[in-house]
Amino acid sequence: MLKSKSVLIGIGGGIAAYKVCEVISSLFQAGAKVRVILTETGQQFITPLTVSTLSRHQAYTDADFWQANHSRPLHIALGEEADLFLIAPLTANTLGKLTHGLADNLLTNTVLASRCPILLAPAMNTEMWEQPVIRRNWQQLTQNSRYHSIGPGSGLLACDRVGSGRMAEPAEIITQLQSLAHTQGQQDFNGKRILISGGGTREHLDPVRFLGNPSTGKMALALAQAASDRGGIVTLVHGPIAPELLPISPNYQLISVVSADQMEAVMMSHFVESEIIIMSAAVADVKPAYYTNHKLPKKELPTDLKLESVTDILAKLGSLKKADQILIGFAAQTGDIINPALDKLKRKKLDLIVANPIDKPDSGFGTDTNQAIFIKADGQQQPIKSCSKLELAHQLLDFVNLEKLRRRNIKL
């Protein structure tokens, strides 16, 4: 999603500057064109040599800004070239300057000379972050639609205090930049309530053994991230997900469940208020007919396991769906993926379905990439080539926007 994008990074003066080195390296490896501005105080924490080595390009400082040896003013050239602008760590000093339109160094002048989306990753001591003047500046600046924020989170700070003010982690910053690269900062789902299910359910025979599937929840996490990045009020109801996959500071609500019955209960409690519902969870179709609340000895395990059906959550939602709601399902298939998906689309009264091959390389359960065919209720299809799950999530939301536009035109 960042390949060939021109990403400009402004590094402020804070110990969190060391984290930006990983961001620069990751962006370069993703194929982005990376340019870096180091403020005077930023150079106290990392050197221009470090930055230029990681970005494979000269690091720009105030010394370059005040020299008249450029064919065009440096701040103008950098600002016009940028597709995305990251400021990390954003210090209290730079925050104050940006809020009031002040420009006395290369970084702040370049901000005023650019038009691209700007991602702000603040980092400072908890006492500083919680000062009324800082909160006022932050609220005022982020009301500007050009500025987008990530963090700060909470944790152990360099001052040995545990509290808010910790800069977002590099992986989180990269994900946010990927979303901005796709949307250019458009908040086209602003205020929309979006309900998403994800991961696999577990149907237990006893406290240790269960029927399950290989779903990791990565696709649902990508959907939740994409929808919240576009302004949605997102609730993600998920089965067991490995802790390392969960976001550190999510900008959406996470509700953890285990069984299909638990997922059904939570989905139903949030269904009525939701405008868009995306059922990407791999819900079990059956469960053991009997549950034992203690671990069964091996010799007592049934050789003929009796099963019973669980509630078809998606079909139940389809039967209750109102005209102003959009209900989306996933069909994970092997072999022919279209005909089973069309059948599921009609039977469960869906508006859209994602036909997803799980027998192809780098697609389906547990992978970081995916491919699919989006199918609408009217039969319209859109194939999606292999891409990151975040990119597929954004393309699905684009598809949803087309459906919303179609409905609006019908009403007109």
pLDDT single digits (tens) 136-149 = 999 999 999 999 99
255 belongs to a structural domain: yes
Point out the domain boundary residue: 183, 201, 233.
183
61-120 per-position pLDDT tens digit: 999 988 766 678 999 999 999 999 999 999 999 999 999 999 999 999 999 999 999 999
Same domain, 125 and 219: no
Same domain, 244 and 133: no
pLDDT of 158 strictly over 90: no
Q: What CATH number is attached to the domain comprising 315?
A: 3.40.50.10300
Same domain, 133 and 222: no
319-341 per-position pLDDT tens digit: 999 999 999 999 998 999 999 99
pLDDT of 346 strictly over 70: yes
Q: Domain tally for the chain?
A: 2
Q: What is the mean pLDDT of the chain?
A: 93
116: annotated active-site residue: no
Same domain, 173 and 79: yes
221-239 per-position pLDDT tens digit: 999 999 999 999 999 999 9
15-60 per-position pLDDT tens digit: 999 999 999 999 999 999 999 999 999 999 999 999 999 999 999 9
Dihedrals phi, psi of 81, to nearest 5 degrees: -80, -25
Give per-residue burial for 23-42: e unless 16+ CB within 10 Å, then b: bbebbbebebbbbbbbbebb
Torsion region of 56: left, alpha or beta (phi above 0 gives left; psi -120 to 50 gives alpha): left
Point out the domain boundary residue: 161, 183, 205.
183
Same domain, 155 and 137: yes
What is the spatial distance between Cα 24 and Cα 352, in angstroms, rounded to a whole number? 38
Is 330 labeled as ligand-binding? yes
Neighbours of 221 (CB within 10 A): 27
Same domain, 350 and 371: yes
Give per-residue burial for 130-162: e unless 16+ CB within 10 Å, then b: eeeebeebbeebeeeeebbbbbbbeeebeeeee
Same domain, 31 and 111: yes
Same domain, 222 and 119: no
Same domain, 68 and 174: yes
| Residue-level pLDDT at 353 | 96
Top pLDDT among 404 and 130 is at 130
1 belongs to a structural domain: no
pLDDT of 364 strictly over 90: no
Is 359 labeled as ligand-binding? no
Confidence of residue 258 (pLDDT cuts 50, 70, 90): very high
Point out the domain boundary residue: 124, 157, 183.
183
Is 344 labeled as ligand-binding? yes
Q: Which two tokens stand for residue 31?
A: 């194929």
Helix (H) or strand (E) holding 395: helix 389-411
Same domain, 24 and 65: yes
What is the spatial distance between Cα 216 and Cα 5, in angstroms, rounded to a whole number? 30
345 belongs to a structural domain: yes
Same domain, 86 and 231: no
Helix (H) or strand (E) holding 357: strand 352-357
Same domain, 282 and 344: yes
Q: What CATH number is attached to the domain comprising 29?
A: 3.40.50.1950
240 belongs to a structural domain: yes
288 belongs to a structural domain: yes
What is the spatial distance between Cα 223 and Cα 329, in angstroms, rounded to a whole number? 13
- Domain hosting 108: range is 6-183
| Residue-level pLDDT at 170 | 95
Contacts of 344 (CB under 8 A, 6+ apart): 329, 331, 350, 353
188 belongs to a structural domain: no
153 within 8 A of 170, measured Cβ to Cβ: no
Is 348 labeled as ligand-binding? yes
22 belongs to a structural domain: yes
Is 271 labeled as ligand-binding? no
100 belongs to a structural domain: yes
What is the spatial distance between Cα 170 and Cα 65, in angstroms, rounded to a whole number? 28
- The active-site residue out of 21, 116, 159, 387 is 159
Amino acid at 142: T
